[in-house]
Each structure stands twice: as structure tokens, then as C-alpha cells.
Amino acid sequence: MKISRALLLLIALLASVYFPAKAQIMKKLSDKVNKEVKKASGTTEQTNQNSSNSGSKSSGSGSESAADGLTSDQLKDAESHVLYTLEEGERIDYRESRIMVSSDYKVSGMVIVDKSGARYIIENNIKKGPYTVKNIPLDFLKKENNGTEDEVSSDAQFDAADMVSIYQKYVKEEGGKSFIVFNGKKTGPFTQLEAFRLNDKKTKFAAQFVNEISETEKERYIANQDGKKVLVSKDPNMYGKLIFDPAFADAAFLGQSFSGQPGNPGSLLVSLSGINQTFNPALQNAWFDDNSHLLSVGNREFYYNGKVLKETNYSINSNWQNLWVNNNGTAWAALLDNKIFFSDGTVVNDGFSISKASANGKTIVNWVAVSKETRAVTKYSKAL
């Protein structure tokens, strides 16, 4: 008796249900019979391979493009000025360079290496050399960078001699208590002066001090020349540092409590301007920029005056200060993983020597990039 192919298919399917131990064998038989049935009926198996492949490729390239960013010469809203053009086979030695750009777009402090290994220095767009690794003059590394980098050191550090000078000039004893007396104004009292910083003209100051009430209670304050005094904490186990504003318009305290309580103690951030927040996990760093904005960073986020500006996928270390914010805090740029991220979503993947400037009331981020195609060393500027 001849069994039809359709009947064979039915038997195979039923067998796979009633005999699970033979499921793999039955599946092979089912597939074979199914193939024969389709062949006999003249049908073919259809796939959506083209649309599937193109869809996944588009999705993948889109996400990669967003992560990888654009080269500087692809930007539509950035000004550009060619500074110098490298010869074929030349490259910039970024470790030895301290690139400075003048107002008339002449570059200095750039060290380039040719394909033979010889080194040259570019000063005011003039190429000097060749030099070897041992005799190349790098005196410009010791000079100030004339404001081309936006570096702010805002930790109030001083040595013992400074403290003696401060006590002699500005600290007075009255009734067994210590006070800061500055321009006729008295601030205190305190039992320990922890930090004190004067401006260059010695007309303003920021200070951090402790007034010990008892063994279990210590009042820690920050204060300034206007007589403003803000209580930071009464916790005797609270320790931290004074963050001073280079413009002396504000000051802040960043610290942690080491009371021995279980768990992460977090960070306390208090400013003269009214910020009083606890952050958990703890902050990595805090500083004031040249617009008196209080900027701070956690492990994967950064803040503007205590409010989150951005949460990132990149880990941030305690020395990181590569954040630039406009005058009113509505736009920013940050250097993360060797890429410049802008708040408008732009990502630049080839920028270096980044700085901030102001022009016509706008905050401008400047950087330098090298074109892979033309080898042009170019300064770019983008408004925040």
C-alpha cells in the first residue's frame, strides 16, 4: 500500500507529540517530509532576509555613529581657522606639545615628528628644527599658557608659613576666643582655622573654621569678607575642604562624615550662596568656574549648582574638571573618553587642546583638530 506524503507528515507530527524521547528524530523526519510536500506542490520557502539585514545594519550604524561622534570638519555650526598644515608623514607629538593659539591664529608650542623621527617645534607658525629627543628645547612647557586653557585650581591649600602670616595679620584674640578681623569686620568665633584664602589684591577672603562647643559637638562654618557666615555641620566627625571661587563671589564646603555608621556616608556640599545638599553615592570633586558656577561630579554624572546636568555611561575620576558651562547654565560641553560632548547632542571625536572664551556675551568652546584628509591643523569654535 502506498502512503501519501501528507499522511507521512501527519504521522511524523503525531509521533513527536506521543514519543518525546524520539523528538529529535521525528523533527528531522517532519522537516524532510515537509520539504517533499512543498516540492511536490510547487511552493518555495520565503525569507525576509533583505529587510531584516538592512534594518539591523541601519540600527547598528546609527547607534555607532551616535557613540563615535563626528570629526570637527563635519560640523555645520562651528567656525574654523586653519592654523598650520602638516607635511606628508608628519604627526603631532601630543605629550610634548602645549599648543597655544594667538588672536591672529598663529600657533606656538606644537611639537611635530616626521617619518624619520626628527622633531620640530612650531613657534608663531615658524617651523624650527630638526631636533632629537634629547636636544629639543621645551622651555615653552614651563611658561604660562596665556589663558589658552581653562584650568581652575579651587582647593584652598597653604603651608604652615602662610598660616602664621594669616594669624599675625587677620586673627585676633578677644575674651579667650579667636576671630577673623578683616577691614574692620569681625567673623567668628572659632577654635581652629582650617582654611583661609585671600584674593590677589587682599580685599576679599574665603575661610573655613571650627568652633568646638563640646567633645561631641563642633560647629563648622564657611565665611567671607562681607561677614557672611554659613553653618556647614555640627557633626564632630565631618571632614572636608574649602572650595573657593576665583572671583570670590562665593565659597563652598565639600566633605564627608566619618562617624562609623554602616553604609556609604555620601557627600555634603554647602555654599555661601545657599546650596546645602547631600549626595549619595559621594561626589568625586567640586569646583567653581570663572562664572562662579559651582560645578561638581559624581561617578557617572555632573552637576551645575547642585542640579544634575548630565548622567553619562563613562566613569569619572576625582581629578576630572573638563566641563564648560555658559553664563546662565543652559548649555555645556564636556570632555569624556577623548570626545567632546555638547548639550545639544553634538559629539566631536577628534578635538584636543580645549578651552573656553567669552565673546559678545556668548560662551565659546575652542578646540584644535587635525584633518586626516588634508593634514590641516585647525582651530574650531562653537558657541554654547
CA end-to-end distance (rounded Å), the chain: 85
pLDDT of res. 114: 96
Report d(CA 3, CA 8) in Å as an integer. 7
Report d(CA 255, CA 277) in Å as an integer. 11
Using DSSP bridges, classify how beta strands 376-383 and 362-370 pair: parallel, antiparallel or unpaired. antiparallel
Q: What is the mean pLDDT of residues 185-203?
A: 92
pLDDT at 96 over 60: yes
Contacts of 70 (CB under 8 A, 6+ apart): 346, 347, 348, 349
**What does the mean pLDDT of the chain come to?**
80
Contacts of 27 (CB under 8 A, 6+ apart): 16
Most confident of 23-32, 39-48, 162-171, 354-363: 354-363
Percent of the chain with pLDDT over 70: 75
Residue 254, C-alpha cell as written in the block: 565639600
pLDDT digits (tens, 9 = 90+) for 262-291: 566 789 999 999 999 999 989 999 999 989
pLDDT at 244 over 50: yes
Angle between helices 23-41 and 5-18 (to 10 degrees): 160
